[in-house]
């Protein structure tokens, strides 16, 4: 792989309004705050996105904490520095910051920079095939079963290939029962976002009767032993998400019997290198994957779609078209759903282009290095 020198960098914080509030067990947001990074060697460039959710949705990290890491640690020590490879560049980032949600913006931007240097797509550089990615509909929490079913009805006809609904303690079995009553035997699963404990196994034993694809992250991220105990008591596969931050996490979870499926998020693992290693571990043990999302804006979504072409990903992705979550996006063309799939445009790097006019429209802060 070509070496590179980062000669210029730009950080832009954008705030994009969402089509409706997104609610999970730990809170709700109505705007997407993301940090966009552009790295340049003077000729080629690459974009990355740091997309931790406001309010510590899925992690202790937030847009504010990632912004500090990028401004105070990562970007000042990156500009002017040469690297012989992405691996060397990533090791440098790891010495600067423990924040994967911050580092991912630089690691993924470096991959696109090198892809553009070589005139190839990001998928070609990653060594994964070019294929359409099946997309699944994800629906958050609502105040009533009727509102939940109405939200599903608004989008299900667009051609999604499976449905995920959020649950939390006190809002679980009845929701699944209502969805099954209204929509029948569609491919369906639930995402608990780690809201339950070992005292709640009976909830999942009840849910086991509804023919679900999986239970996503039922227990706390660190309770791998509890997840293994739950998996022994139910037929439905347990899927881990928040628990998987590294390939070592995936290996330990699989060896304990804590899951039968892994949801990989590029933001959580810190970029493509660790993501590829998670894929390798899962493939070695016959564990299928699917690509999750925060959700990200178009830059992060396009990067997720690039890796989601890896043959280890067998379930539809949580990445959805731009208009599903956001009133606008920062890439062109918009990410679109066609015949149940998302297709990355041809071209070097991401395939999508960042729309500078949209970045300027939604910018709430920007810094040049």
Residues forming the active site: 166, 265
Strands in 203-284 per DSSP E? 215-216, 238-240, 261-264
Give CA–CA dist 21/30, Å, rounded: 4
Helix, strand or coil for residue 120? coil
Residue 82 tokens, joined = 């040469």
Query: In the chain, what's the furthest Cα-to-Cα distance?
Result: 60
Q: Pick from 42, 44, 50: which is nearest to 11 by CA?
A: 50
Q: Are 304 and 291 in contact (CB under 8 A)?
A: yes
Residue 352 tokens, joined = 């999508």
Peptide linkage before 150 cis (omega within 30 of 0): no
Q: Which residues contact 141 (CB under 8 A, 6 or more apart)?
A: 23, 24, 25, 148, 166, 167, 168, 171
Residue 217 tokens, joined = 């992250």
Residue 289 tokens, joined = 């994957």
């Amino acid at each position: 792989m070509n070496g590179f020198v980062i000669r210029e960098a730009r950080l832009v914080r954008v705030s994009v309004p969402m089509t409706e509030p997104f609610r999970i067990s730990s809170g709700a947001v109505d705007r997407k705050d993301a940090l966009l990074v552009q790295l340049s060697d003077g000729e080629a460039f690459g974009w990355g996105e740091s997309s931790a959710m406001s309010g510590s949705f899925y992690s202790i990290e937030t847009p504010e904490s990632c912004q500090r890491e990028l401004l105070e640690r990562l970007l000042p020590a990156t500009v002017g520095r040469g690297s012989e490879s992405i691996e060397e560049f990533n090791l440098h980032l790891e010495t600067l910051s423990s924040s994967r949600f911050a580092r991912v913006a630089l690691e993924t931007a470096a991959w696109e920079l090198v892809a553009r240097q070589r005139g190839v797509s990001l998928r070609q550089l990653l060594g994964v095939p070019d294929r359409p990615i099946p997309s699944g509909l994800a629906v958050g929490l609502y105040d009533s079963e009727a509102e939940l079913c109405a939200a599903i009805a608004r989008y299900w006809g667009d051609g999604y290939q499976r449905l995920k609904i959020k649950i939390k303690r006190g809002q679980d079995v009845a929701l699944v029962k209502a969805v099954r009553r209204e929509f029948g035997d569609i491919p369906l699963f639930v995402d608990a976002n780690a809201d339950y404990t070992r005292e709640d196994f009976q909830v999942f034993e009840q849910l086991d009767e509804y023919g679900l694809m999986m239970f996503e992250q039922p227990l706390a991220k660190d309770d791998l032993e509890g997840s293994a105990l739950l998996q022994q008591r139910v037929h439905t596969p347990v899927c881990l998400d928040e628990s998987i931050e590294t390939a070592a996490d995936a290996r330990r979870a699989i060896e304990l019997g804590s899951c039968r499926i892994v949801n990989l998020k590029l933001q959580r693992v810190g970029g493509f290198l660790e993501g590829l290693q998670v894929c390798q571990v899962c493939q070695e043990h016959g564990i299928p994957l699917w690509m999750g999302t925060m959700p990200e804006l178009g830059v992060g979504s396009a990067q997720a779609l690039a890796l989601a072409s890896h043959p280890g990903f067998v379930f539809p992705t949580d990445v959805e078209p731009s208009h599903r979550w956001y009133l606008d996006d920062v890439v062109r063309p918009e990410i679109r759903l066609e015949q149940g799939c998302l297709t990355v445009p041809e071209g070097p790097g991401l395939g999508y282009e960042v729309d500078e006019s949209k970045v300027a429209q939604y910018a709430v802060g920007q810094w040049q290095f």
